[in-house]
Amino acid sequence: MAISEYPSKLSLPQTNPGVATVLEYLIIKFPYIDAQIWRQRIADGKVHCHDGSLITAQSLFQSQLRVYYYREVESEPSIPFKETILFQDQHILVAYKPHFLAVTPGGIYVNECLQNRLRRNTGIDTLQALHRLDRVTAGLVMFSVNPDTRHRYHHLFETRQIHKTYQAIAKISGDENLIGQKWEIKNRIVKSEPHFRMCVTEGKANSHSVIRCLQQSTQKALFELNPVTGKTHQLRVHMQTLGWPILNDKYYPQLQPLSADNYSAPLQLLAKELQFIDPVTQRPRCFSCDNHLSVKETIKI
């Protein structure tokens, strides 16, 4: 059994969804976790409030109550690739995340995630990711170091004041001349089936990306992608919309059967650069990773 070294946190909603106890809320909040597991965690003293007092099976639901719990999995894979810290000051930390490493705990990963690795390596237990990358995507992730200024950096992401640049490799047909072309994609993306996939539907656009072709060979092309919005899987869906799904994507255009990670064929999507005006210093910031994608060599771990 692998147990997270750090607690996960949730705040109970303002409106009671029709439950009497915290336990009942946790059971309906996490339908994929068996109810008996929550009962056992509570019995073992693994669920508590902000002040450290334990949640019991009889603890009443209180709106906005902060509840802390520790994720558990039967067996946690070890991801054999290393992260790199590119920048750190008293407010933020910027790190390079390799392919296959989750940013925060989720699913079968509790300790093998970028946030917990960095907490262990830096000794900063309050380190918190300010945004997310898909587990299979590599690239830059920014973390808050100082809880007192965290809200100011969160605000940058919430108000789209961070300019993000990605790279992606896709297969193309040999007779296409794409270099220098630009596409602006706006459409409506919603959850599909299964729940972790997204799809394009009719209605008001809620996603926006700008995509350019930088290089191409006879069968592949390198694209630069700038997401204006930040919907789940947005760039992966938008590349599919253009007819060029990202190389080694196991979700799009067709969902592939569940299988172990193929470390020799990572998703060819890289979060290359972050640009913004620092809300504390008011100075321009630009962070870029040395890793790159190439149409000549499409495997970069």
Q: Predicted confidence band at 300 (pLDDT cuts at 50, 70, 90)?
A: very low
- The token duo for 25 is 């809320």
Tell me, what's the pLDDT at 280? 97
Q: Is the pLDDT of residue 109 over 60?
A: yes
Give the side-chain half-sphere CA count within 13 A for 155.
8
Q: Is the pLDDT of residue 298 over 60?
A: no
Tell me, what's the pLDDT at 301? 41
**H-only helix segments in 104-262:** 114-122, 150-158, 234-241
- pTM of the entire predicted model: 0.88
Q: Is the pLDDT of residue 263 over 80?
A: yes
Who's near 17: CB < 8 A, 6+ residues apart? 25, 28
**Residues 19-70 pLDDT 10s:** 999 999 999 999 988 999 999 999 999 999 999 999 999 999 999 999 999 9
**Mean per-residue pLDDT, 112-136:** 96
Tell me, what's the pLDDT at 104? 94
Q: Which residue has the higher pLDDT, 292 or 265?
A: 265
Q: Predicted confidence band at 297 (pLDDT cuts at 50, 70, 90)?
A: low
8 A C-beta contact, residue 6 and residue 119: yes
**Mean per-residue pLDDT, 224-233:** 97
Domains parsed from the chain with CATH numbers: 2-73 (3.10.290.10), 84-156 (3.30.2350.10), 163-288 (3.30.2350.10)
Q: Is the pLDDT of residue 207 over 60?
A: yes
**Residues 250-262 pLDDT 10s:** 999 999 999 999 9
Q: What is the mean pLDDT of the chain?
A: 94
Tell me, what's the pLDDT at 299? 43
- As a whole number of angstroms, the distance between CA 178 and CA 182 comes to 9
**Residues 153-172 pLDDT 10s:** 999 999 999 999 999 999 99
Amino acid making up residue 296:
K
Helix axes of 22-29 and 35-43: crossing angle, nearest 10 degrees = 140
8 A C-beta contact, residue 220 and residue 174: no
